[in-house]
A and B are shown apart, each in its own frame.
Chain A
């Protein structure tokens, strides 16, 4: 069986390696991905149409906003699935595994360092969310960093300390609010006479011209994404590390 696996790997690997010769060169302007009129339109027109210097965010949050909305829904559903599978409601305390860390036996150095780093991470995460359409970053990255800051707090000061700041009920509400913000932004566009997630329709209620309406709308939906991702990352960690009991974590 091992020999068969080795032969299969060698054959598939040789096929893949021989296929890489057909790839276009790195940065080749004549490659099918670069030469299509759609990508030319994005590269040349997105700054004038949306006033967003970061092309990636313009494509993700505006031109393909529908796609990103359902990515957010995927993350939301993943978190709900984790809760449905792992969360153990009402398990007796006697079944807890031995060696679960109690609060209070932590190292002073770890606690102090994490308390110093925690606000810095959070401020930087908020900057990444808020500045995502002008520099690399955006809702996903900023949301993951914000969730990671709570995970750091749970690792250093114990899960109860993190749960005091981001409780279980709050996380689920926050995750739902994120999806509602994104979808609601699209519905608002419909109410103002445009298509779903056609941000230019929001021009009457957002200050600035049509381009700024699209730019500000991108910020709005990115904030929605960040809400969902923050909450779901913390939910996944909290449920995985405590086997769904949400106490006595790592």
Chain B
């Protein structure tokens, strides 16, 4: 566990979380959520929880992103609020 690495990942996580909330384009928001999942997967792998990181990489970053993109294509692409 390297604390400098942790700080960098955590800062990126906060930035991607804020972007995912602020961006109006829902497709872009799903993509940013995928990046967020990969970052948290990286954090878990770095903390030694490799099984959880693996699950996050496959479920969170992989399939969830695809499912969200598939859902965005069935709705309007831009968010109103």
**Bound pair (A, B):** yes
Residues of A within 8 A of B (CB): 26-27, 54, 56-57, 128, 136-138, 140-141, 144-145, 147-148, 151, 155, 233, 236-237, 240-241, 243, 249-250
Residue A250 contacts which of B53, B59, B73 (CB distance < 8 angstroms)? B73
Which residues of A lie under 8 Å from residue B66 when comparing CB positions? 148, 151, 155, 237
Partner of A141, one of B55, B67, B74: B55
> How long is the Cα–Cα vector from A151 to B66 in the complex, in angstroms?
9
Selected contact of A237 from candidates B50, B53, B70, B74, CB within 8 Å: B70
With contacts A144-B63, A147-B63, A148-B62 taken as known, whether A240 is within 8 angstroms of B51 at the C-beta atoms is: no
CB neighbours (8 Å) of A148 from chain B are 58, 62-63, 66
Q: With A54-B51, A148-B58 as known contacts, state yes or no: A241 contacts B73, CB within 8 Å.
A: yes
CA distance in complex: A54, B49 (Å): 11
Residue of B nearest to A55 (CB): B51
- Pairs A–B under 8 Å by Cβ, sample size 5: A136-B53, A136-B54, A137-B51, A144-B62, A249-B70
A151 touching B63, Cβ below 8 Å:
yes
The smallest C-beta distance from A248 to any residue of chain B, in angstroms, reads 12
Q: How far is the CA of A56 from the CA of B55 in the complex (A)?
A: 12
Query: Which of B1, B51, B53, B55 has the most chain A CB within a 10 Å cutoff?
Result: B51
Contact B51 A233 (CB under 8 A): no
Residues of A within 8 A of B59 (CB): 140-141, 144
Q: Does B14 contact A (CB under 8 A)?
A: no
Are A140 and B55 within 8 A (Cβ)? yes
Contact of B10 with A by CB under 8 A: no
Which of A27, A57, A237 has a CB less than 8 Å from the CB of B67?
Answer: A237
CA distance A187 to B34 in the complex (A): 40
User: Chain B contacts of A145 at CB under 8 A?
Assistant: 58, 62
Q: A141-B51, A141-B58, A144-B59 given. 14 additional CB < 8 A pairs?
A: A26-B1, A128-B54, A137-B51, A140-B59, A144-B58, A144-B62, A145-B62, A147-B63, A148-B62, A148-B63, A151-B66, A237-B67, A241-B73, A250-B70
